[in-house]
Amino acid sequence: MIAKTISVAKGMVLPVLLVAAWAAWTSRHESLLFPTPWKSVVATMDLWRSHSLQGYLVTSLRRYALGLSIGTTLGFATGALLGSSRIAERFMLPNFNMFRQVPLVGWIPLLIVWFGLGDLSRVVLIALASFFPILLNTHAGFRQVPRGYLEVGEVFGLSGWEKVVRISLPAALPWIRTGCMLSLTFGWTILVASELLTQSNGGLTDILDTGREQFRMELVNAGIVVLGLLGFAFNFAATRIWSIGSLRWRSLNIHQSNQAE
């Protein structure tokens, strides 16, 4: 316990020193590029008081939630299909593996032409981003179910569907969990990209855009802190939620394979 406290304290020394140095330096030589950290706090509070921050937050989270739920649902379904059918695997998996190496931001101009500059483009992009991690991990999870389990199921006379629901799915859950977490993280990254690149209207990156356009560095700094904190919160929440309950004994299985083997 004490050892842990000490190691956390050690790690916090540098960040505290950095902020202190930043504050000390900027209080003497304040410039446009290097405003005091205090200004960022004030800017954030102003955003909060004028209710703009809440508005940004709701808009971004709505896009994120919508894209994520579409992407992970489709990804999970496809992964389960590829995991339980050899034929589907043969036909589709190499294509998915190839397709996912196309950089997502490369789709943005095309999505804008097809779906306009509105929310639809962004939601499609986030859905695409969250589709692949969960697909590949669900597939891998289904594939690693020990043959023996399925044979026992056969002995008990389970139907094909029952085998999937009662054997493969529970055995694959730790992998699916990993896929979910990767989808969550990557979806968040791509949300930021999609908002920046489609001239976001009303999302969190508006803080960054306003800061850049009006040359208010304190807003840029504040925006980065807000986005970082939210990303951290999602990661933290996801890890916590998933470690509750029956999955606790399993370690994280990470499958990020690019390659059809």
Q: Which residues bind other proteins (CB under 8 A)?
A: 7-8, 10-15, 18, 33, 90-95, 98, 101-110, 112-114, 188-189, 191-193, 196-197, 205, 208-209, 211-212, 215, 217, 220-221, 223-224, 227-229, 231-232, 235, 255-259, 261
CB of 261 to other proteins, least distance (A): 7
Least distance in angstroms from the C-beta of 170 to other proteins = 24
Tell which phi-psi region holds residue 104, choosing left (phi > 0), alpha (psi between -120 and 50) or beta: alpha
Output the smallest distance, CB 34 to other proteins, in A: 10
Where are the strands (E) in the chain, listed by range?
none
CB-nearer residue toward other proteins: 109 or 170: 109
Angle separating helix axes 108-115 and 119-143, nearest 10 degrees: 120
Q: How many CB atoms lie within 10 A of CB 174?
A: 19
- Rounded CA-CA distance 153/146 in Å is 12
Q: Least separation, in Å, of the C-beta of 145 and other proteins?
A: 19
The closest of 181, 190, 183 to 227, measured between CA atoms, is 190
- Closest CB 230 distance from other proteins, rounded Å: 9
Closer of 116 and 146 to other proteins (Cβ) = 116
DSSP strands (E only) in 80-133: none
Specify the residue, 20 or 229, whose C-beta has the smaller distance to other proteins: 229
d(CA 26, CA 35): 6
Q: How far is the CB of 260 from other proteins (least distance, A)?
A: 8
**Closer residue to other proteins in complex, CB, 119/209:** 209
DSSP string, 206-217: HHHHHHHHTT-H
> Which CB sits closer to other proteins, 74 or 224?
224
Q: Which is nearer to other proteins, 69 or 189 (CB)?
A: 189
Closest CA to 63 of 194, 185, 235, 237: 194
